[in-house]
Amino acid sequence: MANTSFRVQANKFSQDNIQATLVCSKCDEVFSKEFPLDLEGQTSEFKCPVCGVPGEVDLPYKSADEREEIEEDFEEVEEEESGEESEDEY
Ligand SMILES: [Zn+2]
């Protein structure tokens, strides 16, 4: 039985995960799914949430631009943590 494949239509890297918009080659439905960052550039196997067919997707690598954005975000977080006097915003 040949595996179904999911095509990556769009993807976005956050600090915690990979948010991908995928198309199922079996039912042709578009859905979104989140993957752990560890799976960057690897093949992930899962079942289609629409039709339930098992398949796999080749996840992309983060682009250089996205890496820079995430590094900047980390710097901002460090600055916020160094000044802990803004608690009453919550
Ligand atoms: Zn499907």
Q: How far is the CA of 33 from the centre of ligand 1 (A)?
A: 13
Instruction: Check: pTM over 0.75? Answer yes or no.
Output: no
CA torsion 23-28-32-38 (nearest 10°) is -40
Both structure tokens of 80 = 């916020």
Instruction: With CA atoms as reference, report the closest residue to 39 among 8, 60, 67, 63.
Output: 60
How much distance in Å is there from the Cα of 63 to the middle of ligand 1?
Answer: 28
Cα 49 to ligand 1 centre (Å): 7
Note down the domain range covering 59: 4-82
Q: Do the domain assignments include residue 59? A: yes
Residue where the block lists tokens 């439905």: 29
Cβ distance 61 to 8 under 8 Å? Answer: no
Alpha-carbon gap, residue 72 to 78, rounded angstroms: 10
Alpha carbon 41 to its chain's center = 11
Ranges of the chain with pLDDT below 70: 1-3, 64-90
| Residue 41 resides in a domain | yes
Any domain includes 88: no
pLDDT value of position 84? 57
Overall domain count for the chain: 1
**Residue 16, in any domain of the structure:** yes
Q: Ligand 1 centre from 68 Cα, in Å?
A: 34
Q: Is residue 29 part of a domain?
A: yes
